[in-house]
Amino acid sequence: MTDTGPTMKRLLLTLLLLLLPASNAFAALDPALVRQLAAEESDDKIAAIRQLGASASADAAKVLKAMADDELLVADEAVFIFDGEQAVDAATGAVIDPVPETYESITVNNRLRSELANALAALKLYDPDRAVRLAAATELQSNAGIGMAPILAAAMAKETDAGIQALLKQAHALANLENPDAAARLAAVELLADSASPATRGLLLPLLDEANEPDAAVREAAAQAVDAIEARLAFGEILGQIFSGLSLSSILLLAALGLAITYGVMGVINMAHGELLMIGAYATFFTQTLFRAYFPDYIDWYVLAAIPAAFLAAALVGMLLERTVIRRLYGRPLETLLATWGLSLILIQAARMLFGAQNVEVANPVWMSGGVEIMAGLVLPWNRIVIIGFTLFVLALVWVLMQKTRLGLFVRAITQNRPMAGCVGVPTGRVDTMAFGLGAGIAGLGGVALSQIANVGPDMGQGYIVDSFLVVVLGGVGQLAGAVWAALGLGVVTKFLEGWSGAVIAKIVVLVIVIVFIQKRPQGLFALKGRFVDN
């Protein structure tokens, strides 16, 4: 790294230089104004900076930028920009050749510096690019001084975009907090009461103090505004926690749904369940690789193709496991537990050898990146929203399969009375395989979702096994509805606890809650009553 650094830098410099001439065409600025930048008095300089700042000209921006970078120099009567190689007249943009022998730099003290920064930001407010304006307006949300007030007012008048307009209004109000006129301050405070940002709250707080704010009415209004903002912030935080709780619930549910079929309905303790998730995730990775290689134009839609691929891959592996191992262990849960743990080790090692021990990179498609901003400071990421939706889809799928198809009917019959089901002609062996394949396939679908938000690696499944079992056990074995409620409860409670106490303690507390809960209701939330329960 260290020896490639300088060469890299030089390369970049040359590139910049190549670009520079194109932007060298200057539209002349008022020379007197430029000259004033080099005035003796700071106040004069500031006046000039503000005027240039309000000029909405790109050249003014260039000059101010140079001033901020200490590249604005004075020689005799000329003010010029010297970037180390070339000197350019600040007012006209004409190249000065040769570079003057003696020159002075313009002293820029801290006060000037912040004026410069504001002026530069203000200039960006006139940029034709909406994104630049948005960024500038956002920037001003936290540090607009009273000096900015006229500039912001001017920008507000010109702005057409409603979103930016709102931001400007906020910034204008913030700037007006320093307005010597109490009425203007009051108006500003009242406007700011609609904000939901902690920064605004921070700016309003000093106004509560008599030492900073002489006017009682303004103090009163500020107190109300702070309360309003705090209430909004708290609400936003709760909303955020509920959302992340929902999001965690959906992930838990996706991880557990497959298990709700294999363990909950069929009674098979499948410790390799996490690895079926892992297979689903790798199938997603594989689909992505295929799309990158063969259909790069449709890369954004690889996730959709990954859904059936992951389902099939996991279902096939699941059916294979059922046929070869699990089938021989029906009715021996503890043995099944151990054998499937062994299978999980084998699958992990196989993944390691096939795809490497490192995590692989699965990218969100463009339509899943970013998020929607519900309110200031609360952005709901698209990938989470999509996953919640996807969970609902999978849930509906499972419900339909279990309630409305012959397979579901058979599976339920076998759960209730295996020998009897066999007698009335249910092909128990085949149904077992199919049902296990279904559960495994659902786990594969969970893997698709996980690949979008978590690391995809050989060990990824291990982290989910305990959680998934907790969901199924808590929900009550054999109860899909129970699993849904359990996942919801666990997810939301975990997130709220995390807000309080950090992730590790939250996890431990949740485990303790589950253990205590199972004390009270060993059969889970939705207990099956009846004679078959205790044996």
Partner 1 sequence: MRTPFTIRVLAAMPRSGWIAMGLFAAITLVLMPALHLFVPEGHPFHVSNYVITLGGKIMCYAIVAVAMDLVWGYAGILSLGHGMFFALGGYAFGMYLMRGIGTDGSYQSHLPDFMVFLDWKELPWYWAGSDSFVLTLILVLAVPSLVAFVFGYFAFRSRIKGVYFAIITQALTFAAMLLFFRNETGFGGNNGFTDFKRILGYDITSPEMRATLFALSALALMLALLAGRYLATSKFGRVLAAIRDAESRVMFIGYNPLHYKLFIWTFSAMLCGIAGALYVPQVGIINPGEMSPANSIEIAIWVAVGGRGTLIGPIIGAGLVNGFKSFFTVAFPEYWLFFLGALFVGVTLWLPEGVVGLWKRIRARVAA
Ligand X SMILES: Nc1ncnc2c1ncn2[C@@H]1O[C@H](COP(=O)(O)OP(=O)(O)OP(=O)(O)O)[C@@H](O)[C@H]1O
Residues 218-257 that bind partner 1 (CB under 8 A): none
Say whether 404 sits in a helix, a strand or coil: helix
What's the min distance (Å) between Cβ of 505 and partner 1?
8
Binding test (CB under 8 A) with partner 1, winner from 79, 155, 188, 343: 343
Binding mask 501-530 for partner 1 (x = CB under 8 A): ---x--xx--xx-xxx-xxx-x--------
Binding-residue total with partner 1 (CB under 8 A):
39
Report whether 424 contacts 260 (CB < 8 A). no
Nearest to 79 by CA among 48, 36, 49: 36
- Does 345 interact with partner 1 (rule: CB under 8 A)? yes
- Does 342 interact with partner 1 (rule: CB under 8 A)? yes
The residues with which 133 forms a beta bridge, in sequence order, are: none
- Specify the residue, 337 or 413, whose C-beta has the smaller distance to partner 1: 337
Report whether 81 contacts 106 (CB < 8 A). no
Binding test (CB under 8 A) with partner 1, winner from 462, 499, 513, 527: 462
- Specify the residue, 336 or 451, whose C-beta has the smaller distance to partner 1: 336
What's the min distance (Å) between Cβ of 479 and ligand X?
17
What's the min distance (Å) between Cβ of 415 and partner 1?
16
What does 531 interact with, of partner 1, ligand X, none (CB < 5 to 8 A by kind)?
Answer: ligand X
- Specify the residue, 520 or 531, whose C-beta has the smaller distance to ligand X: 531
H helices present in 92-181, as ranges? 110-124, 130-139, 149-158, 162-176
What does 414 interact with, of ligand X, partner 1, none (CB < 5 to 8 A by kind)?
Answer: none
Report whether 318 contacts 344 (CB < 8 A). no
- Does 163 interact with partner 1 (rule: CB under 8 A)? no
What does 406 interact with, of ligand X, partner 1, none (CB < 5 to 8 A by kind)?
Answer: none
Phi, psi values for residue 88, rounded to 5°: -130, 135
- Does 353 interact with partner 1 (rule: CB under 8 A)? yes
- Does 329 interact with partner 1 (rule: CB under 8 A)? yes
Say whether 91 sits in a helix, a strand or coil: coil
- Specify the residue, 236 or 458, whose C-beta has the smaller distance to partner 1: 458
Binding test (CB under 6 A) with ligand X, winner from 21, 98, 419, 530: 530
> E strands within 253-367?
none
What does 507 interact with, of partner 1, ligand X, none (CB < 5 to 8 A by kind)?
Answer: partner 1
- Specify the residue, 51 or 523, whose C-beta has the smaller distance to partner 1: 523
Nearest to 226 by CA among 243, 261, 202: 202
- Specify the residue, 9 or 521, whose C-beta has the smaller distance to ligand X: 521
Residues 262-281 that bind partner 1 (CB under 8 A): 269
Token pair belonging to 425: 């002609």
H helices present in 179-301, as ranges? 182-192, 198-204, 216-259, 273-294
Report whether 177 contacts 189 (CB < 8 A). yes
Q: What do you get for the CA distance between the two ends of the chain, in Å?
A: 66
What does 352 interact with, of partner 1, ligand X, none (CB < 5 to 8 A by kind)?
Answer: partner 1
Report whether 120 contacts 68 (CB < 8 A). yes
- Does 406 interact with ligand X (rule: CB under 6 A)? no
Residues 490-529 that bind ligand X (CB under 6 A): 529
Report whether 512 contacts 281 (CB < 8 A). no
- Does 296 interact with ligand X (rule: CB under 6 A)? no
Say whether 150 sits in a helix, a strand or coil: helix
What does 530 interact with, of ligand X, partner 1, none (CB < 5 to 8 A by kind)?
Answer: ligand X
Quick one: 253 exposed, middle or buried, by C-beta within 10 A (0-12, 13-18, 19+)?
buried
Nearest to 242 by CA among 505, 503, 501, 493: 493
- Does 531 interact with ligand X (rule: CB under 6 A)? yes
The residues with which 372 forms a beta bridge, in sequence order, are: 380
What's the min distance (Å) between Cβ of 272 and partner 1?
10
- Specify the residue, 280 or 478, whose C-beta has the smaller distance to ligand X: 478
Nearest to 360 by CA among 463, 457, 280: 457
What does 325 interact with, of ligand X, partner 1, none (CB < 5 to 8 A by kind)?
Answer: partner 1
Nearest to 82 by CA among 97, 68, 96, 72: 72
**What does the alpha-carbon distance between residue 392 and residue 398 come to, in Å, rounded to a whole number?**
10
**What does the alpha-carbon distance between residue 156 and residue 122 come to, in Å, rounded to a whole number?**
11
What does 217 interact with, of partner 1, ligand X, none (CB < 5 to 8 A by kind)?
Answer: none
- Does 351 interact with partner 1 (rule: CB under 8 A)? no
What's the min distance (Å) between Cβ of 429 and ligand X?
30
Place of tokens 């799928």: 397
Binding-residue total with ligand X (CB under 6 A):
3
Say whether 384 sits in a helix, a strand or coil: helix
- Does 334 interact with partner 1 (rule: CB under 8 A)? yes
Binding test (CB under 8 A) with partner 1, winner from 113, 130, 328, 430: 328
Report whether 477 contacts 264 (CB < 8 A). yes
What does 216 interact with, of ligand X, partner 1, none (CB < 5 to 8 A by kind)?
Answer: none
Report whether 319 contacts 433 (CB < 8 A). yes
Contact residues toward ligand X (CB under 6 A) are: 529-531
Contact residues toward partner 1 (CB under 8 A) are: 269, 325, 328-329, 333-339, 341-346, 348-349, 352-353, 462, 466, 469-470, 473, 504, 507-508, 511-512, 514-516, 518-520, 522, 534
